[in-house]
Chains A and B, each alone.
Chain A
Amino acid sequence: ILNVEQSPQSLHVQEGDSTNFTCSFPSSNFYALHWYRWETAKSPEALFVMTLNGDEKKKGRISATLNTKEGYSYLYIKGSQPEDSATYLCALRQTGANNLFFGTGTRLTVIP
């Protein structure tokens, strides 16, 4: 069983604040790192799939970076809005595997 860890477990921020979360994972046999956003009562939706060390991806106010050598990824949200409230999951895919190993997520609450 792989250890994919996310921190913090939860956080509350004020509307307009910027925030970031961490995903750490074993760096051996790395293939890809996924980020998903999961709103309550909905299905998880993919934000990013990153494969290369040093990758940076951006979607609107959300961006992510990847360091495969040290085994971590950061997710940044700039100018948080209430609609950003969700659980953010990261997941590791290793070489030769089709399944993902998920972290337990970071639950973000943006206070208006």
Chain B
Amino acid sequence: KAGVTQTPRYLIKTRGQQVTLSCSPISGHRSVSWYQQTPGQGLQFLFEYFSETQRNKGNFPGRFSGRQFSNSRSEMNVSTLELGDSALYLCASRGPANTGELFFGEGSRLTVL
């Protein structure tokens, strides 16, 4: 069974640009969450999608947005990039089991110059 796949793995952008990151969950998983990790911080929750609907949102500015497609693939977009947006962005999918265990991708590392 293929794991969670994130693309691209690495990217470099400049301030003011926008970026789109993609996440393909494990087959059969309908919930996709996004987390941001910056140095010295724990993983910070961005948002969660389930069946194409945003179910939950973290405390991030409106520049951070996302969506989910009918095949459960998800994208997140960050507009008007700032230096502080440099981070590792992790996507995780959750299956139907009640444990709530998350299955993570390897992340997309964004550097903003």
Q: How large is the interface on B (under 10, 10 to 19, 20 to 34, 35 or more residues)?
A: 20 to 34
A76 to B97, CA, bound (A): 26
User: A97: nearest residue on chain B (CB-CB)?
Assistant: B56
A100 to B33, CA, bound (A): 10
- Total contacting residues, chain A, CB less than 8 A: 24
Chain B nearest CB, measured from A7 CB (Å):
13
Residues of A within 8 A of B70 (CB): none
A97 to B107, CA, bound (A): 23
The reply to whether the CB of A59 lies closer than 8 angstroms to some CB of chain B is no
Q: Is the CB of A44 within 8 A of B101?
A: no
CB contact list, A93-112 vs B, under 8 A: 93, 97-105
Residues of B within 8 A of A104 (CB): 40-42
Chain A nearest CB, measured from B10 CB (Å):
12
Q: Is the CB of B42 within 8 A of A4?
A: yes
Residues of B within 8 A of A89 (CB): 42-43
Q: Is the CB of B45 within 8 A of A101?
A: yes
Q: Is the CB of A43 within 8 A of B3?
A: yes
Q: Is the CB of A103 within 8 A of B42?
A: yes
Chain A nearest CB, measured from B76 CB (Å):
14
The reply to whether the CB of B105 lies closer than 8 angstroms to some CB of chain A is yes
A→B interface (CB under 8 Å): 1, 4, 32, 34, 36, 41-46, 49, 89, 91, 93, 97-105
B→A interface (CB under 8 Å): 3-4, 31, 33, 35, 40-45, 48, 50, 55-56, 58-59, 90, 94, 99-107
Q: List 8 A-B contacts (CB under 8 A).
A: A43-B105, A43-B107, A46-B102, A49-B99, A89-B42, A99-B48, A100-B45, A102-B42
